[in-house]
């Protein structure tokens, strides 16, 4: 089995998305950052279905998963349209958003998050960049 060793020079720029306009803006900002750093972009959606499995019906979990994958696909298409040469990967996670981002980033990935998301992930050990909110 082959393994890729992530280093600060080869790790992706990671961004979490939830379908909101600020998350879409963060994804596009992260794409620009990835281009500047010469790195791929990895888009993550943490649905937290594992944490809520006892309280949700199987159909609801299925719908949440489908919606999350749709958010990933739409975001990846938007990024590809704006940054055609950028390598973009997506990841759907059944864990919460912070855990999903930390796992995707590992020790060397750079996480891009909206200011709200960054505030909830202060314990993250990976380097992070906070995207300021758009002007009113």
Positive or negative: CA dihedral 98, 99, 101, 105: positive
| % of the chain surpassing 90 pLDDT | 57
Residues composing the chain: 136
117-125: long-range pairs with CB below 8 Å, 24+: 117/16, 117/26, 124/98
Q: pLDDT-based confidence at 128, cuts 50/70/90?
A: very low
Q: What is the pTM of this model?
A: 0.79
What does the pLDDT look like over 47-80, one tens digit per residue?
999 888 888 899 999 999 999 999 999 999 999 9
| Rounded Cα distance, 117 and 70, in Å | 21
Mean predicted lDDT score pLDDT of the chain: 81
- Which range, of 4-13, 34-43, 109-118, 126-135, averages the lowest pLDDT? 126-135
What does the pLDDT look like over 106-121, one tens digit per residue?
887 888 877 544 444 4
| Rounded Cα distance, 66 and 22, in Å | 21
């Amino acid at each position: 089995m082959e393994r890729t060793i992530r280093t600060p020079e080869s790790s992706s720029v990671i961004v979490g998305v939830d379908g909101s306009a600020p998350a879409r803006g963060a994804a596009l900002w992260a794409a620009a950052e990835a281009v500047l750093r010469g790195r791929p972009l990895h888009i993550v959606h943490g649905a937290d279905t594992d944490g809520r499995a006892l309280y949700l019906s199987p159909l609801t979990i299925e719908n949440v998963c489908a919606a999350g994958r749709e958010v990933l696909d739409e975001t990846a298409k938007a990024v590809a349209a704006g940054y055609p040469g950028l390598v973009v990967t997506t990841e759907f996670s059944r864990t919460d958003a912070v855990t999903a981002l930390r796992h995707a980033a590992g020790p060397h990935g750079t996480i891009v998050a909206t200011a709200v998301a960054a505030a909830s992930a202060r314990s993250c050990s990976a380097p992070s960049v906070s995207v300021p909110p758009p002007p009113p």
